[in-house]
Amino acid sequence: MIGATEKPPRLVVLEHPDNERALEAIKDAISKKRTLIVAGRCRVNYEGRASSKLEEGERIVLIKPDGSAQVHRTRDHAPVNWQPPGSLFRTRLNEGELILRAFRRKENEVLEVIFKEILLIVSLDLIDTATFYLYASEEDMQKAILLRPSLLEEGFKPITSERPVEPGFIDILGRDKFGVLTVVEIKRNPATKEAVLQLNRYIQAFVKDERSKVRGILVAPGLAKGAQEALAALGLEVKLLSPQVCAETLSRRKKTGQLLDFIDDGEKV
Amino acid sequence: MIGATEKPPRLVVLEHPDNERALEAIKDAISKKRTLIVAGRCRVNYEGRASSKLEEGERIVLIKPDGSAQVHRTRDHAPVNWQPPGSLFRTRLNEGELILRAFRRKENEVLEVIFKEILLIVSLDLIDTATFYLYASEEDMQKAILLRPSLLEEGFKPITSERPVEPGFIDILGRDKFGVLTVVEIKRNPATKEAVLQLNRYIQAFVKDERSKVRGILVAPGLAKGAQEALAALGLEVKLLSPQVCAETLSRRKKTGQLLDFIDDGEKV
DNA sequence: TAATAAATGTCGTTT
DNA sequence: AAACGACGTTTATTA
């Protein structure tokens, strides 16, 4: 029995509970915004942007305090069915089955898990306040070029980053060593034809304002199919640069300060 | 103790195990390709296409028989770190910590979870052979009709899709076999009276511009209460079409090319 | 195996 | 609230 007045333990485990105990534990965990794991034999229905049906089988359901839900099968990284954060939950017994519904009113989406048999219920009060750090993202590549413009090319001088233009934002705008305006678009993956077109749109929008000559440089670790042709056709350029090198540049800065761009005159790719 | 000779139980649960028991249970579960859940206080490192760092906190790790791994925090549908199916695992104790590594050799990617404290281990032998069925979204229905206009009716020729009009967007605009302008509104669920009114609004807004005769066709798998009457009252039409049939049309296209509309002259609903 | 397109993409940001 | 772009996108399909 999970007391209403007592503080519940950080970890509650029920093996092979009957439906009544399971219902109580699930309602308790969700209402107290605990993390909930339910393993059991169930079928799953989803109705919303699409609809899906999954017949009976044993799966794991994970419900988080933020109101997200996911149903995992024995394979695949991604859940077979899910509901994003902010979902509402309704649990009830019906003719010997335990029915768990996660729904989002606005989006008109419903996820329904109908348990024939509950193998396990785990209710956890997880404490996790740590920050997640991701390195070598596209953002890091941008930071690295701004910190050390020679990563792009000798003599490049950034003017602004994230400059708004008609269709979006120019990653980096600057001038090359001859003073020519240069639009830089950064990709952390091999650049696709779409990326080239994106860069071109930015330049087009920009040229309207400036109507002077503008260079366009695509920064990426490589080129996907069709990108080379698109670049040539549009008269744009590419600078091969890996996210890893950018991440290294940033981490080295932390140790040696911001002098690198003045000291280092070599190119590393 | 989990015997090597005996068949292990379908469900093994260890609450607050010491490191040795935890190590044994984890190795056993992974080697026997069981589904494994580990909850505990840990830090997480990832090194591969990018790199990431997550300091100490309580999380849930889910490892599946297919060699996929994911680390879940208390929020978000998506795992904070993961490793796709086919990963290899190495578990060991080191200075009072339990270290779980999931790596992919070819991709040179490593996920490392370092447990300071194990709250719970669950090792499951899940049985799940069911097939997952996903039925098409409304967007797929639109695509299917554009691909094979005869799904709507013989001789229909689409002009545009998502054409903006006063109240929103016309799903598909086209001409029937007599050249009469036709507005198509698609619903993936049984169409309600509201859907009929929506179609009517689009037509009204459209007639202002064109002031020629315009047909309105509601595409839906069925009609909800009151929809039939509304259609009749407004002089609009309905074409019954299920998302499933659209999905089939789209998947068949991939196999047989885009010739279907020329070959197929029958209607399937 | 590599390239391409779709996804109930998810998730953040900005208008 | 809606739109846009990035993502360690993932995933399936096809050449």
Q: Give every strand in the sheet of A168-175, ordered side by side.
A: A157-165, A168-175, A181-186, A214-220, A237-240
B74 vs A13: CB contact, 8 Å cut-off?
Answer: no
Q: Which residue is nearest to nucleotide C9 (CA to C1')?
A: A78
Q: C-alpha angle with apex B43: B38 to B48, nearest 5 degrees?
A: 100
Contact B23, B98 (CB under 8 A): yes
The pLDDT tens digits for A38-61 are 999 999 999 888 889 999 999 999
Alpha-carbon span B221 to B238, nearest angstrom:
10
pLDDT at B255: 37
pLDDT > 60? residue B198? yes
pLDDT > 90? residue B95? yes
With H, G, I as helix, E, B as strand and everything else as coil, classify residue A78: coil
pLDDT > 70? residue A18? yes
Residue % of chain A over a pLDDT of 90:
49
The pLDDT tens digits for A86-104 are 999 999 999 999 999 999 9
B75 → chain A, closest CA residue: A66
Alpha-carbon span A16 to B10, nearest angstrom:
11
Q: Please choose, from the candidates A43, A14, A23, the residue with its C-alpha nearest in 3D space to the C-alpha of residue A116.
A: A43
Interface contacts A/B by beta carbons within 8 Å: 178
pLDDT at A121: 98
- Whether this prediction's pTM lies above 0.95 is answered by no
Alpha-carbon span B147 to B136, nearest angstrom:
15
For all residues of chain A together, what is the average pLDDT? Answer: 85
The answer to whether A107 contacts chain B (CB < 8 Å) is no
Write the CB contacts of B88 (distance below 8 Å, at least 6 apart in sequence).
B67, B102, B103, B104, B105
Q: Which residue is nearest to nucleotide D1 (CA to C1')?
A: A106
B130 vs A54: CB contact, 8 Å cut-off?
Answer: yes
Pairing relationship of beta strands B214-220 and B97-104 according to DSSP bridges: unpaired
Find the nucleotide nearest A51 (Cα to C1′).
C8
Residue % of chain A over a pLDDT of 70:
87
pLDDT > 70? residue B108? yes
pLDDT > 50? residue A260? no
- What do you get for the CA distance between the two ends of chain A, in Å? 62
- Which of the given ranges, A3-7, A105-109, A222-226, B45-49, has the highest pLDDT on average? B45-49
For all residues of chain B together, what is the average pLDDT? Answer: 84
The pLDDT tens digits for B137-186 are 777 788 888 888 999 999 999 887 767 665 567 788 899 999 999 988 88
B135 vs A39: CB contact, 8 Å cut-off?
Answer: no
